[in-house]
Structure 1
Amino acid sequence: MQSHLTRQVFRAIINNEPLHFSRCRRNQLLHTISPTRVRPWAPVLGNTSRRTFFAFNFNPSNADAGEGQPATLPSEKGLQPMTDLKRSLEDKSRAPPSHTLTKAFQIFFATRVENPGVINGFQARLLSITWRHLKAQQGELDDREFQDVFSVESLEKMLFVLQEAECLPEARATILKIARYVYAELRADHGFGVDSVSRPALLAYINLLASNGCPAEARLVILNFGGRFRGAKPSPWLTVMKGFAMADDNRQLRNITREFEKYGMKFDQASHEELINLLIEQGQFKAVQTAYQCPITGAFDPSTPNKMADIIEPSISTKKNVVKQAILNSETKWAEPIFHSLPQGPVRETVGITLLWEAAHGSNASSLAEKAKTWIASDEQIQDAITIADVNSLIQYANVSRNHELAPGFVRLVEQWGLVPDQETHLLRLESYIQAGAVEQTLEILEQQIDLSLLPTENLPLCNKLIAMLCLSEQRDALFGRISSLLDPLFQENVRLEPTTVAALTRMLLYRYDWEAISELLRPRLGTYDDEGKGVVRNVITDFILDLGQKDQDVWDVYELFKLAFPQTGVDVRTRIMSSFFERKRSDLAVLVFGHMRQAEDPRRRPKPDTYARCFQGIARNSDKTNLELVHNMLKLDLEVNLTTRIQNGLMLAYAACEMPEKSMEIFRQILGSDEGPSNKTIGIFFKVCEKHHNGAQEALKMLKKVKKVGIEIDRRLYTGYIEAVAAQCEFDVATTAIDSMQAEIGVPPTSTT
């Protein structure tokens, strides 16, 4: 089966541009856009299963796609007209018509109501540009166009989507700017007076601000619309406090509690616990530490508004939750005073957290069993107080600690204490097997205890770890069907995979030579990752390209995919790829990689002096005269690269290897006349040139005398180069004399190699 991968399709991998289909030949291969120098593609898929992972990504019946072409992804819908607008503003050409832009803007948000997904930096910039353009044209829009963007319904939909979507760090500032535009528009008079913003829209805006580093701004919104939030759950004040806790702003947290009292509310134990739980759910333990210290007040007394409320402690359930999170985040020392503030001794209410505390301080399963036995002897009701959730916490601690010896013992406590394992127990056991790389035990528990259809919803992070472990195991080919069955529900539900999972899948598919599956895997996902996440996937593909055990054509096909998927890749990685093709004795492909660097729009991704030097060295190893002249001409036209001695050394070496010693001598004379001058390596290369020059023996002899005269240290490598030069010119007597006098000349005797 041929791949759908084309230049237009693969742009969407990083969402630098949306899909825009033209009339093209059905199922055009990646390989058909390869340069003519590449040999024709030879299929290598005879031993590869063609079962596809990704049946759910493409829908040929989609109206946006032609026959045999991929459907437009949800993340791409509406982007093309906005991209056209961006280009028209850049080159000052005619912009798309307003009705096209308003419809595109409306479609972008309507598509994301059910599944907001991820908004990356490029998408955020398009939205900002389009909003400002349409705002400037607002007075000229007809009713339908106005409704698509500036109606209350459309504006509120934008806020809800922006609040629910995961905004990559690169997009955050732009998204906040757009949200402020929308908020200002909602506050305008839409026939109901100014500031007639609905409570759901205000809550969405407050949450968006507070969760993205602007809690102070969110606080001002509450102050402006305070009366509209009575009965809201969770309270918008807690949302703002969550934002300040995430910013580690203790002073503002305390100020908020005073404002609670000013407006007739209270920050009591229940509010404190709700705030802590909100932060725990988001995995913000540092913020939990900050919020825990926030003072809790008693009930507000309206008869004495100036009287300070009594300060009370957090609830026992809050303390237990915080201590547990501290243990799981290796912060037991910080949690020590909190733990000791709990009721001490064999108490039913705290037996679970006490077991976890003991485990965190070195107790294994047998030690805990003995302690529990002692506690039960003093109070039989403690037996009933120990629950399966307590054992689950112990297994979770073993997994977080990556202590593979602890987990099996804690699992045995389930039977020992007469408990019934629940789904969480099975998932935690599965995680411990995954961490240990125990494939057989992992498959056994999957078959006997885990409902695969529920795994993505029950524990998506664990599902990611499972897929990655199976892909990276030595049995990956045998497990192909199992991995496929795990992926099916994920793709049906459009679940977001972690970069490490996608990297593991990509690695497996690379070594199955399934380029189509790789393109279908990466196309809708790379754009949802930040630079670090993209780098994890890119490194896997780079490793395959650098694998000298792979066939040249397979590697070139993957390089074409790499080039389209990761256009932001720096010069260092591209230079390594270029050098690997030289090592393969494929200087034609190496020079193509070099040419791609030369064509980069961003100057930071164009060849550096080191890149030129390495390119000439590779050409020298391959004795590639045609590409030598090509790259040398590129160098002459490159005004951004200074002609260093290192580059010229490479040129000398390359021209000598290509049987053009006169040209090498000419470059050597240029080095002598340069400000930098020759280096030790230049002299060694000069002797290499002398091996093939028509007057090489005399030139080598003169150079040796000059080197001695100016006091340059002559080491074994340099002296051996001189011997090789005169020997290559058949001056055997001179070479023999040089060997005999080597000890006297440079202080070291000749070796068998000499």
Structure 2
Amino acid sequence: MADLKRSLEDKSRAPPSDTLVKAFQLFFTSRVENPGAINQFQARLLSLTWKHLKALQSELEDGEWQDVFAVENLERMLFVFSEAQCLPEARDTVLKIARFAYLELCADHGFGPNTISRPALLVYINLMASNGNPEEARHVILKFGGQLRGAKPSPWLSVLKGFALRDDRRQLRKVTQELEEYGVKFDQDSHEELTKLLISQDLFAAVQTVYECPISGNREPSVPAKIAAVHYALLNSEVSWAKPIFDSLPRKISPETIGINLLWDAAHGNSASSLAEKVDTSLSAALTIADVNNLIQYANSQSNPQLAADYAKLAGQWGLVPDEQTHLLQLESFIQAGDVERTLAILEQQIDPSTLTGDNLPLANKLITMLCLSDQKDELFQQISSLLDPLFQDNVQLNAETLAALTRMLLYRYDWEAVSDLLRPRLGALDSEGKTLVRTALTDFMLDKEQTDSNVWEVYQLFKLAFSEAGVSIRTELMCSLFDRKRSDLAVLVFGHMRQAEDLSRRPKPDTYARCFQGLSRTADATNLELVHNMLKLDLEVELNTRIFNGLMLAYAACEMPEKSMEIFHQVLQSDEGPSEKTIAIFFQVCEGHHNGAQEAIKMMGKVKKLEIAVDRRMYTAYIEALAAQCEFDVATEAIDNMQAEIGVPPSSTTIGLFYNAIPYQYWKDEVEQWALQKYPELWKHMAESPRSEHEEGQKFDGITNEVWV
């Protein structure tokens, strides 16, 4: 299907129809048991392939036509779409393909139109309503009302849910008023059912919308619906919305309402001991462990592990036996506290790992993430692996935070194969935000200066495959980090990968070129400088600017090609943008190695003064270094003496040190030392405390530079 996409883009021959039919069918048959997630890339391929095969359907062999357009296969498409997690960016495309399948099912294939089955209708209605198109779902119910009569649960609940998800209260009320015309009532039971359904999906705004929707006969919501709404609101710290609902409950506390009353008191700051005092003998018998669980759940919603522990002790005081849910909630509180020891203890003593799936998957994610990020992750590796095994066997999709934590842990164990096996089948199910979390785990490792060059390059190979869509910004940062490692060979490879990108948005920008040339200047890599400069000459998408010219000047100067730098400087002078202050500072650096450098530097400083160009410490120091490099001792010392008058700041110990470093031959360096001892004794004394190392042209102070950034 990807080949078909490329062929349509470059107008080449498409893959054979039988191959496309097999690919299209395989996508859905392989997902019946485990629908997984559908991302934007997959949705687009499915849409392109469907349209292509639809256009060719008259030319397909009978078997090929059946494999795509037969009722069984069309219904399978709808089923997979309804069960899969459609990532937000893929949703519109998925709905379009689903509508194609629905219309095909409704078409007349010799048995009359609209012979679509009831199960397929119900799946299609729920798919549309749950993914942002409740109008289409409503239209289908009206069209096939007779065929859908008596369906349990009523498909109208799907439509109401769809409008609730969009917070479309006007349409929600309109539909509830219309229902009686079609023999359906939005009664207390339907209201309660839909409210609890939305609560189970953790959709607070939708819960509010549905709860406030009028009920047939102007009835109040049922007591269970009120209790469920208050409970959910308190867990979301929405006390003000819950208050009128709570106030509408019977004033006399009953076995049905004692739990929500305790939870209400807890949400208003009552401690465990205060709650224990409020439960008299007549009501204690009505308490269940579920009421204690609700209190622990509330404490966890407030991220208060100590309060959760206090509430858990109430079970013993009230003679209640903790159940599986109690232990799971306690596990969550230990995770929140970052208490590895108690987490492992309750896992070993009270919890069956097989329960950490299904509804408890969010807790499993939190648990694995906490263990991966703990200081003891190496010691806990086997424990983490045992938790993952059943999840992987069931093809459970972990959340992005957990994947990122696992990735980070495996990277620092240098297990590249395990990282690849972890990410390959799972990255496609993440949205862009989730992918960013996982990508950050890889980039953090590559930017970690403690890692070896070879390890960083291994991870880069994984990164390149897993995040081919990664933008220029992050790739440029990786390139620069390799320059920092003095690995310009690898840095230029990263640059080359950007240059080869098919998508123009992922190709190098002017800033990328400038930073690459800056890196090449710091590594004095003449071979790769020529390579990248040639790439620039062939890059019709990049417009030359002063930053790029500055980078080229720096790089050629560092590679001992000052004449080439001077040529580029003259190009800057002739460009529309012209030179910047940094260009002039770089010009002085070029003068250090130029055969006529001293005269060029003196001439340029004269022009700078004449044109009243602002001169900062960095530019002036570059001028001094240029003079020193040309052994113009007297002119350089005069420039230092005049520094305060020329630019408004006095020389510093670093100024003296850079002068010393720039002047060649130990004879002249000794002259600088004697001059500084007489003229600037304090500055020299401070500088002399710094370590010096031997170089080909004499000693130099370590750790001081006057690097100009492009």
TM-score between both structures, scaled by the size of structure 2: 0.90
Residues 633-648 of structure 1: matches in 2 within 5 Å? 633-648=534-549
Residues 280-295 of structure 1: matches in 2 within 5 Å? 280-295=199-214
Q: Does 1:419 align with 2:320?
A: yes
User: Shift of the alpha carbon at 1:342?
Assistant: 0.8
* Separation of aligned partners in 2, 1:342 and 1:381: 20
Distance 1:734 1:406, change over 3 A: same
Residue aligned with 1:348, SS? coil
Residue aligned with 1:189, SS? coil
Give the conservation status (yes or no) of the 8 Å contact 1:148–1:154: yes
Deviations 1:406-430 (A, max 9, x none): 1111111111111111111100110
Amino acid at match of 1:237: W
Match of 2:249 in 1: 342
User: Shift of the alpha carbon at 1:84?
Assistant: 3.4
What 5-or-longer segments of structure 1 have no aligned partner?
A: 1-81, 298-309
Amino acid at match of 1:360: A
* Separation of aligned partners in 2, 1:714 and 1:188: 79
- 719-728 vs 94-103, which moves further: 94-103
Deviations 1:172-226 (A, max 9, x none): 1111111111111111234432212211111001001101111011101111111
* Separation of aligned partners in 2, 1:85 and 1:737: 72
User: Shift of the alpha carbon at 1:147?
Assistant: 2.4
Q: Does 1:684 align with 2:591?
A: no
* Separation of aligned partners in 2, 1:161 and 1:672: 64
User: Shift of the alpha carbon at 1:360?
Assistant: 1.4
Q: Does 1:197 align with 2:116?
A: yes
Amino acid at match of 2:270: S
Q: Does 1:224 align with 2:125?
A: no
Residue aligned with 1:567, SS? coil
The structure 1 residue matched to 2:574, chosen from 673, 677, 682, is 673
User: Shift of the alpha carbon at 1:278?
Assistant: 1.5
Match of 1:271 in 2: 190
Residues 588-599 of structure 1: matches in 2 within 5 Å? 588-599=489-500
Q: Does 1:712 align with 2:613?
A: yes
The structure 2 residue matched to 1:583, chosen from 475, 478, 484, is 484
The structure 1 residue matched to 2:219, chosen from 304, 312, 320, is 312
* Separation of aligned partners in 1, 2:342 and 2:58: 67
Deviations 1:468-515 (A, max 9, x none): 111111111111111111111111111111111111111011011111
Q: Does 1:120 align with 2:72?
A: no
Distance 1:725 1:186, change over 3 A: same
Amino acid at match of 2:154: S
Q: Does 1:459 align with 2:360?
A: yes
Residue aligned with 1:181, SS? helix
Distance 1:626 1:131, change over 3 A: same
Distance 1:666 1:432, change over 3 A: same
Residues 148-547 of structure 1: matches in 2 within 5 Å? 148-297=67-216, 310-372=217-279, 376=280, 380-457=281-358, 459-547=360-448
* Separation of aligned partners in 2, 1:362 and 1:499: 34
Task: Give % identity.
Answer: 71
Amino acid at match of 2:410: L
Amino acid at match of 2:93: T
Match of 2:665 in 1: none
Deviations 1:446-481 (A, max 9, x none): 000001122224511111111111111111111111
User: Shift of the alpha carbon at 1:345?
Assistant: 4.6
Distance 1:594 1:94, change over 3 A: closer
Q: Choose between structure 1 and 2 for higher RCO, CA contacts under 8 A separated by at least 6 residues.
A: 1
* Structure (1 or 2) with the greater helix fraction: 2
What 5-or-longer segments of structure 2 have no aligned partner?
A: 656-710
User: Shift of the alpha carbon at 1:335?
Assistant: 1.2
Residue aligned with 1:627, SS? helix
* Separation of aligned partners in 2, 1:86 and 1:608: 27
Match of 1:35 in 2: none
Match of 1:656 in 2: 557
- 213-222 vs 176-185, which moves further: 176-185
* Separation of aligned partners in 1, 2:18 and 2:570: 67
User: Shift of the alpha carbon at 1:105?
Assistant: 2.6
Distance 1:619 1:346, change over 3 A: same
Report the aligned-residue RMSD: 1.5
* Separation of aligned partners in 2, 1:483 and 1:278: 33
TM-score between both structures, scaled by the size of structure 1: 0.85
Q: Does 1:746 align with 2:609?
A: no
Give the conservation status (yes or no) of the 8 Å contact 1:446–1:452: yes
- Paired residues in the alignment total 655
Match of 1:67 in 2: none
Match of 1:624 in 2: 525
Residue aligned with 1:453, SS? helix
Residue aligned with 2:595, SS? coil
- 242-251 vs 382-391, which moves further: 382-391
Match of 1:725 in 2: 626
Give the conservation status (yes or no) of the 8 Å contact 1:86–1:129: yes
* Separation of aligned partners in 2, 1:617 and 1:107: 50
Match of 1:566 in 2: 467
Deviations 1:706-738 (A, max 9, x none): 111111122322222222211111111112222
Distance 1:87 1:689, change over 3 A: closer
* Separation of aligned partners in 2, 1:323 and 1:429: 23
Residue aligned with 2:475, SS? helix
Match of 1:144 in 2: 63
Amino acid at match of 2:510: P
* Separation of aligned partners in 2, 1:599 and 1:98: 31
* Separation of aligned partners in 2, 1:617 and 1:99: 53
- 470-479 vs 345-354, which moves further: 345-354
Match of 2:449 in 1: 548
User: Shift of the alpha carbon at 1:258?
Assistant: 1.8
* Structure 1 consecutive aligned stretches of length 4 or more whose deviation exceeds 6 Å: none
* Separation of aligned partners in 2, 1:521 and 1:740: 64
Deviations 1:4-28 (A, max 9, x none): xxxxxxxxxxxxxxxxxxxxxxxxx
Give the conservation status (yes or no) of the 8 Å contact 1:348–1:381: no
Give the conservation status (yes or no) of the 8 Å contact 1:623–1:657: yes
Deviations 1:333-383 (A, max 9, x none): 1111111111125433211111111111222212222223xxx1xxx3310
Amino acid at match of 1:520: D
